[in-house]
Amino acid sequence: MLEKDTLRKADIFSGAIISLFGLFVVSQALKMPMKDTYGGVQNVWYVSPAIFPLFIGAIISLLGAALTATAVKTVGLGQLAEVFRYLAGPDLVLFLKRPETRRFYAILLAFCSFIFVMIPRIDFFLAAVFFLLVFIAMFYFDDDRLLWKILGFFVAVSGLLILFFALRLDERMSPVVSYPGDWLTLLIIGAFIFYSRQLVKKRSDLRNKYRLCLILAIVAPFTVGIIFKFLLLVPMPFEGAVVELLDTIWYYDY
């Protein structure tokens, strides 16, 4: 374990980075419409899709600032020079190689792929289910060996999706099949369910966790998504095959 003073010194910079990230989220959320007309109904500001990221970004920024302030108060401004020496020295390299730090890389990679690759191009429900399946499995199984295997699968899939959209295969296939990216993601979800099942089938202690992972990854997005989509009338970031199916069911004229 790192000493408390060392952790506090690192918190000075990590808190600043977190705070800046929160401000970036807020700046991007401000670009979203606060009011819009949806289905002939004028939405009010408090059901805007910008509200949630604005709230999260502001909280992240405030918590990052609080972390930096607490760290500076603990170690004092006179210790900043020592912090810079630490950042330029070999101890930082050792810290970046620690298993705990590598887990942070896994979290960062998962979120970046979800936000920048999936959300803008894949049906929200499918993207959220796949992200939660991977994210919960990586950490809930509490096994570093499985974490890196699952992360390897996720990296390969993220690369496949990036290539798929970079080559505009979704646009080329659209005349033949609707929402080709969604169908590809559905196949990927099925492949991951099978792959993760193979990883835990000989581990009795993980089989219950595997089942709970499946339930949470499916129930959570559909519960939250349906509330926002049909009760609060907030459009999803990308509405594809699943949203179209839910629209058909929800607005079916009995």
**108 shares its domain with 206:** yes
Q: Are 233 and 38 in contact (CB under 8 A)?
A: yes
| pLDDT, one tens digit for every residue, the chain (254 residues) | 445 555 666 677 778 888 888 898 888 878 776 666 555 555 665 656 677 778 888 898 898 888 888 877 777 666 666 666 766 767 667 766 676 777 888 888 888 888 888 988 999 999 999 999 999 998 888 888 888 899 899 999 999 999 999 999 999 998 899 899 999 999 999 999 999 999 998 888 888 999 999 999 999 999 988 988 888 888 888 899 999 999 998 887 65
Q: What angle do CA 146, 147, 151 make, to 5 degrees?
A: 115
Last residue of a domain, one of 38, 61, 95: 95
**158 shares its domain with 48:** no
**38 shares its domain with 122:** no
**102 shares its domain with 90:** no
Q: What is the pLDDT of residue 106?
A: 84
**150 shares its domain with 212:** yes
**111 shares its domain with 201:** yes
**51 shares its domain with 147:** no
Distance separating alpha carbons of residues 152 and 145, to the nearest angstrom: 11
**123 shares its domain with 86:** no
Last residue of a domain, one of 45, 76, 95: 95
**114 shares its domain with 208:** yes
**77 shares its domain with 105:** no
Domain count, the chain: 2
**90 shares its domain with 174:** no
**Residue 101, token pair as written in the block:** 């730090």
Distance separating alpha carbons of residues 206 and 198, to the nearest angstrom: 11
Last residue of a domain, one of 54, 75, 95: 95
Residue 187, domain extent: 98-254
DSSP state for residue 33 in the 8-state scheme: -
- Find all residues with CB under 8 Å of 95, minimum gap 6, and list them: 2, 10, 101
